[in-house]
Amino acid sequence: MAPSPLVSVVVPTYNRAHLIGRTLDSVRAQTWRDLEIIVVDDGSTDDTRARIEALAVEDPRVRYVYKTNGGPASARNAGFANARGDYVALIDSDDTWYPWKLTLQVRCMERYPALGMTWTDMEMIDPSDRVVEPRYLRHMYTAYRWWTDDELFPQSFALSELVPDFADVVGSARLRVGNIFSKMIMGSLVHTSTVMLRRERLERVKGFDESLRRSGEDYDFHLRTCREGPVGLLDLPAIQYQQGLPDRLTAKKYNVYMAENLLKTIVPVIERDRALIDLPDAMIRRTLAKAHAWLAYERLERGEVDEARKHYLESLRQRPWQPSIMKPLLFAALPFGMGPPVRDRLRSMKAKVRSMLGLPEPESGGVGT
């Protein structure tokens, strides 16, 4: 009988001693028992080390790795360097897995050896652990709206047939398989805390780009992973994704870095791999226009008018008809730094009118569709 494949679970963390115990409990409770849990402490100053080392005494599958602070990309890469498994799974230190997650992914990937990566849907929970959205993947990653499931994933298989002993868990959910590199140009379709990688695929991709600090390194990594061959979505929620915590890198204050890193990711890929990207020019121009408009909006919010103007104009060069960005472009075009004060004054006046009329606050956002 062939030995059971080892799964290396990489858990980057920074100053989350108060949260990480719950995350690690969910990993240790996996029905797939052949695993190692590599906790990479990215320079924490709280009592993370003491908590993890105590846990490692209790459970020898837990390994503690310390490094100076360098961000999540470098922490995950340190985990990769210490991983010995046939498969590598990723989880952030504030999320949790359902106990059958790894078993389902290993069984699917053993059945279909061409799959270099699989991921799952997720439940979104708020800071009080209330489930706000039971199937959050397609809500968070809006690139799914461009295609039907069958267009994204030409092959699909009933999970109840692939893992019949988990039929009561998977219900009618399916494993969806495809080559989605081209589609990923329109935006990410993959959530990191749900991912499992085959070692051979990881060795080709190498790791996360550590120059993408603060945010956006996930998209770059998954885009390169999808470039290397078929991937698969287990189309059911297998994790609980924590939202609303103030230290999350998806917080609004990090938006400018997300927007900047999006352009750093897709522009070189489009220039290098245009022949491999099976998308019409109009779609590519649209995504470039949206990316430039987003960065322009975030720059304008920070008072960086010259940079905002440059990216608004590039957005219009890619896609000339965008009524939604004409007003912020006007603010960016005002002389002597007048744009942000005028914009803020107009916002204040509108807020007073909404309050007088009892109207709700509008949803924020800087990019037209």
Sequence spans of domains, the chain = 7-252, 280-357
Residue-level pLDDT at 368: 32
Helix (H, G, I), strand (E, B) or coil at 296: helix
| Nearest to 78, CA basis, from 86, 115, 87, 88 | 88
Cα angle 92, 96, 99; round to 5:
130
**Orientation angle between helical segments 255-273 and 217-227, nearest 10 degrees:** 20
pLDDT digits (tens, 9 = 90+) for 320-350: 988 888 777 776 766 655 555 645 654 555 4
Residue-level pLDDT at 12: 98
pLDDT digits (tens, 9 = 90+) for 47-58: 999 999 999 999
Q: Is the pLDDT of residue 357 over 60?
A: no
Please give the CATH architecture assigned to the domain spanning 7-252: Alpha-Beta Complex (3.90)
Q: Is the pLDDT of residue 4 over 70?
A: yes
pTM over 0.85: yes
| Nearest to 184, CA basis, from 117, 239, 125, 234 | 117
